[in-house]
Structure formats: structure tokens, C-alpha cells
Amino acid sequence: MFETWEELEKSIVNCSKCKLYKTRQNIVFGVGNKEAKIMFIGEGPGADEDRLGEPFVGRAGKLMNMAFQAVGLKREDVYIANVVKCRPPSNRNPEEDEANACLNYLRNQVLLVKPKIIVLLGSVALKNILGKEYGITSARGKWIERKGIQYMPTWHPAALLRDETKKIDFINDLKLVVELASQTN
């Protein structure tokens, strides 16, 4: 485990632990408040994220920003990361070996941020963080506590682009996150 952000970022820049490094433009490390109470974890970078080196800057990210605004969250107050740091080709889900290659980086980010709440965006984040036995449809909107951290599984913003009826659930889940965050120190 790395003690500082600088050490962690440096180790990721030269990562070649899986085949995704061969096709990436940029590492998409993470962004936001490094002392955030709330951390968001998605699955992996898309084309816009790969090009710009920042998570959630494409269409799904814009939708997430609007949802943040609706519930009174500021993007600069939270920390946002992904399970994998390199874009899977054609925006496919990360394969198990690819996710496993990156999970220690993500665990290290969590240890450095020390969030009270982690929002798991979609099935890939849920299964890689809390376990394969979870399904996003049944776990969504329900608090799950592990090692002093409260986890809120919810839809991935990209799913909202495909099915607008999920937007209400997403907003309601974020309201629960904001409510709990206001009660914790």
C-alpha cells in the first residue's frame, strides 16, 4: 500500500498489469476532494474519460453532475474513481482479470480518502467491491455497512441514459446519501 497520493499516482502511470494498458490514451486515476466524506466508484473510463484523463466527463458524467445539483452535492466536495483506471475497448465491462489488476489501486484510494460513504455506481462496481453475490436491481437503494463504511449501490449514470425511468431512483438514492452525510462527522 502507498502512503501518499503521489506514490500511488506514480505507480499507476506506468501500470501494465493487464491488457488495457495497450490501448489507453490516459490513465483515469480519480478526481475530487481527497478528504471527501462521500466517494463515488464507477466501473471504468469511457472514450471521453480516456481522452481527458478524468472520470465521468462524458454524457453519463454530465447527467451525474445534474443529479448532484438537484440534491445539493458539489462535484468538488466528493471523490470520484473507477474500478479500472484504463478504458475497456468499445466501453465493454471490465473483465475479471482487468478489475482484479486495478482493485489494489482502488483500495488504496479508499484508504487515503477515508470516506464515510461510498456510492457504488452500477453492477460492476457493486460486484467488485462488495461481492459477486450482489445484484444491482435488488441491492440498489439499500445501505450496506462494511468495516465502518456505509455503501449505497445505485444505478450507473449510463443506465439512466438508456432508461430514463431510473432517474427517479438515482436521485432518491443520492438524497439518502446527502441525508446520511449530513448526520456524520
Is the confidence at residue 175, as pLDDT, over 80?
yes
- In terms of CATH, what superfamily is 5-183? Uracil-DNA glycosylase-like domain (3.40.470.10)
Pinpoint the alpha helices (H) of 31-95: 47-52, 59-71
Collapse the DSSP code of 12 into the 3-class scheme (helix H, G, I; strand E, B; otherwise coil) and give the result: helix
Question: Which tens digits make up the pLDDT trace of 73-96?
Answer: 999 999 999 999 999 999 899 999
Is the confidence at residue 53, as pLDDT, over 90?
yes
- Is the overall model pTM greater than 0.75, yes or no? yes
Is the confidence at residue 185, as pLDDT, over 80?
no
Q: What integer best gives the mean pLDDT of the chain? A: 96
Helix (H) or strand (E) holding 117: strand 117-121
CA–CA separation, 76 and 80 (whole Å): 9
